[in-house]
Structure 1
Amino acid sequence: MSSDPRDFAAHEAALLDERRFDDWLALFTEDGHYWVPLLGAVQADPFSHNSLAYEDRLLLQLRVDRLKNPRAHSQHPPSHSQHVLQPSRIEEETGDAVHLRTPFLYIEARGESQILLTGTARHHLARTPTGWAIREKRIDLLNAARALPAIQLFI
């Protein structure tokens, strides 16, 4: 992977679209979080209001394990995703940390059904000896508070 942090979001999305969930999970720092605020971009933190998802490494590992389990009923047939990304933009860079902003379209398909979501991914990355790692991935969905279908994978 490139050392340019702007290439990170595309690499991460490719891992998800290829169902390489263990490799994707390895991108997170030990204290990393995956957050999908219920209020979208206006929600300041995951503690003062409900979120669609706020998961640490342990919860992410449990979801990955479920997705890989051949007995997971929700994955018969398996879900597949396609991320369509605009170029990532660096919003802030301080020392060994970078904040990226990446607008996206997300398509998730399972059997005959397909959902389309759009929004902005915000990655807070930390530089590690092996490259960039996710300290927090925040997904601000467009119109997040509306009724949403079940999302099986990771946006």
Structure 2
Amino acid sequence: MLPTLQDFIYDEARLIDSADYEAWLALFAEDGRYWVPLKGQAQTEDERHNAIADESPLLLRLRVARLRGDRAHSQQQRSQCQHVLQTPRLLSSDAGVHTLHTPFTYAESRGEEMVVLHGHCVHRLRETPDGLCIALKRVNLVNAHSRLPMIQLFP
């Protein structure tokens, strides 16, 4: 049975929360993009230069390799995270591309430190012969314009 669009979003968050980063990376299209704009939802897609993160699958793989390695000092005590998602809402569907909006709360801990972020994700999912893939995951943080603590994982 094929997953629904909502199931895909929930499963994606579960993969991150369980630190199954390799399976998470496999969800991205070859030309996919993980983007956390510095101005949150006020930022247009043309303003690519201001970003907390703007990563292709190649850059995401490098980040995952760093997280998995023993030389990442920021991960000497491994970070853990938990996404709490509201129900994803379909914004548009056109020619096999589906755009969804999902409000979230994200918590990330490492040792005694806890980071809590709020915002919404915009997923652009593309249908392929192999199933759905992520063409874009845009994370709009409510306080993106503020000074943010160090974020190690993937809100």
- Scaled by the length of structure 2, the TM-score of the pair is 0.96
**Using the alignment, how far apart are the partners of 2:154 and 2:78 within structure 1?**
14
Structure 1: state its 5+ residue gaps: none
**Using the alignment, how far apart are the partners of 2:114 and 2:59 within structure 1?**
25
Residues 35 and 46 of structure 1 are in contact (CA less than 8 Å); yes or no, is this contact kept in structure 2?
A: no
The one-letter amino acid paired with 2:110 is: R
Residues 99 and 124 of structure 1 are in contact (CA less than 8 Å); yes or no, is this contact kept in structure 2?
A: yes
**Using the alignment, how far apart are the partners of 2:72 and 2:91 within structure 1?**
39
* Equivalent residue, structure 1, for 2:23: 23
- Scaled by the length of structure 1, the TM-score of the pair is 0.96
Aligned residues with identical type, % of pairs: 48
Moved more, 53-62 or 39-48: 39-48
**Using the alignment, how far apart are the partners of 1:123 and 1:59 within structure 2?**
18
* Equivalent residue, structure 2, for 1:114: 114
* Equivalent residue, structure 2, for 1:11: 11
Describe the shift of the 1:123–1:113 C-alpha distance in structure 2 as closer, same or farther (beyond 3 A). Answer: same
**Using the alignment, how far apart are the partners of 1:48 and 1:125 within structure 2?**
20
Residues 127 and 133 of structure 1 are in contact (CA less than 8 Å); yes or no, is this contact kept in structure 2?
A: yes
Q: Does 1:42 align with 2:67?
A: no
RMSD value, Cα: 1.3
Structure 2: state its 5+ residue gaps: none
Q: Runs of 4+ in structure 1 displaced over 6 angstroms? A: none
Post-superposition Cα deviations, 1:75-131, rounded to whole Å, max 9, x if no partner, equal 110000000000001000112110010000000000011010000000000011221
* Equivalent residue, structure 1, for 2:66: 66
Residues 46 and 54 of structure 1 are in contact (CA less than 8 Å); yes or no, is this contact kept in structure 2?
A: no
Tell me how far 1:2 sits from its aligned partner.
4.5
